[in-house]
Amino acid sequence: MWLIIPRQTLDNLLMQRLLFSFLFIFLNASAFALDDPWMQIEKASQAARQLSYKGIFAYQNQQEMRSIEITHLNNGKEEFARIINLDGPPRELLSSGDNVVVFNPNKENVRIQKRQGQNLFPAILPSNIEFVKSSYSLRSGDQERISGREAQIVFLDPRDEYRYPYKLWLDKESGLLLKMMVLDHNQKIIEQVSFNQISLFASQDLNWFTPSIDAHKKYVMDEVPANIVSKDKYCTISNLPAGFREVSHVTRMMGRQPILVHQWIFSDGLSSVSLFINPIPKGQKSKVGELQIGSAHIFARVMDGSQIMVVGEVPPATIQKISNSVQSVSAH
Amino acid sequence: MKEKISTLLDDELDLKATSQAVSEVIKDKRLRERFETYQLIRDSMKNELSDATFSAKSIIDAIDKEPIQIRFNHSSKVASAMALPYLSWMSWPVAASFLGVFLIAALSMNHGSLKPSETFEIAEDIPVEFIQAHQMSAPTNVAYYSETDAR
């Protein structure tokens, strides 16, 4: 027996099948995209910048612990953030776009300092994750609740001994970084940041965007020596640790009897190291040795009458290798 | 901008404008000076004018003019041996003379450490300025929250 189907109905059926096929392919592609663990890192990087949120988190390293309140708003055009230290001196940071101002109130006055923009928690993941990919491998872990929200654990394992492992807790719903740990190679915690409470909001109201300082106190502009982009090579640098590349090279005046210091910043996308070099003035002692303060390692040595100082939140091996990457210093 | 600074000082500027005004003031040296002048005017109007105006630079200049303090070597066991219980049976003049002898001995024993040397260990004099310069200019700064109160 033949079933007679009108041509129009047949066409509709074909069209429906075609639509379902497209939808199936699209969903599969989306699922594939979400399956790529690196997409989670990219999502976390965007979430910290694009979402509006308010919360309190704890920062902890081997020496101290502090509670910090953050309010972040993105109105579609610009980012606004207010970060308040809840423990210790009531320091506040207000940023709008790349403009960053720090307010340090004390008994007598309020010191105001203009700073350059930086990636601060929870926006510590770079927008471009390609450099991170070459230095770290990524693997997914279990799921855990952080600050009342479901989070996916993601590990960034270093491909060599020149960087620390990272453990990240990413909000399953929004992708926002809720908690992070920097560990040493024995899995001992070097530093940790974790939200204790967090909430997302949709309001575009900016009433909160003002420092809570005593308006009757004197304001003191805290002079920060200007960084000048250096055209002078000053020294030859080669054989840097794999994955580290030069981010900037500036000169600035430093010290009580100010002298010109060259500063290079090298980064692998997550961690960064500063290399300082300056000629040692006559009659001034040079600095040598190594030291750890909080999560930072510092190494100082002398070469051809120049002071070499390396500072960074990286393993001592990286600091040593960057210090040794200075091959020769030009005569000054 | 003049009006902005004035209203900023009188707390009449709206919130977003406050931030913009502060940013602009910090950027421009002339505006900064004007800001300080307005502040002076405001303070004088409110009879809050202080005798001295402190700035970060004047404090650093003052520190530079301070005499250098020489610290004794912490390893001096002679100093720790000078314990107070002796005073219970010693008279003050005797104790003082002993103290004098001990101090001379301590100074002569530490003579080597007081000699100027070409280098010193960073562990003895932490290069805070370099750490802060790194923390302020690194592209990513998780440790911003732990920056010392030295700033």
Q: Give the pLDDT confidence of B86-118 residue by residue, as tens digits.
A: 333 344 444 444 444 444 444 444 433 333 457
Nearest to A206 among B15, B135, B140 (CB): B15
Q: Is the pLDDT of residue A310 over 70?
A: yes
pLDDT: which is higher, A35 or A185: A185
For B:32-91, CB contacts with A below 8 A are 32, 35-36, 39, 43, 46, 48, 50, 53-57, 60, 63-64
Chain B residues within an 8 Å CB radius of A63: 146
Q: Do B117 and A285 lie within an 8 Å CB cutoff?
A: yes
Backbone angles phi, psi at B60, to 5 degrees: -65, -40
Q: Is the pLDDT of residue A24 over 50?
A: no
Q: Do A296 and B63 lie within an 8 Å CB cutoff?
A: no
The arithmetic mean of pLDDT across residues A74-103, rounded, is 91
Q: Is the pLDDT of residue A8 over 80?
A: no
**Residue A229: per-residue pLDDT:** 80
For A:186-245, CB contacts with B below 8 A are 191, 193, 206-207, 209-210, 215-216, 218-224, 227
Q: Do A113 and B151 lie within an 8 Å CB cutoff?
A: yes
Q: Do A288 and B122 lie within an 8 Å CB cutoff?
A: yes
Q: Is A330 helix (H, G, I), strand (E, B) or coil?
A: coil
Q: How far apart are CA A245 and CA A325, in angstroms?
A: 12
**Residue B95: per-residue pLDDT:** 45
**Residue A57: per-residue pLDDT:** 97
Q: Give the pLDDT confidence of B8-27 residue by residue, as tens digits.
A: 554 545 555 656 666 665 56
Question: Which structural domains are found in chain A, ordered by start?
Answer: 37-221 (2.50.20.10), 228-329 (3.30.200.100)
Q: How far apart are CA A136 and CA A164, in angstroms?
A: 10
**Residue B147: per-residue pLDDT:** 61
Q: Do B120 and A288 lie within an 8 Å CB cutoff?
A: yes
Minimal-distance CA residue of chain B relative to A214: B11
C-beta separation of A87 from A69 below 8 A: no
Q: How far apart are CA B98 and CA B104, in angstroms?
A: 10
Chain A residues within an 8 Å CB radius of B50: 218
The arithmetic mean of pLDDT across residues A289-303, rounded, is 92
Roughly how many angstroms between the first and final C-alpha of chain B, as a whole number?
29
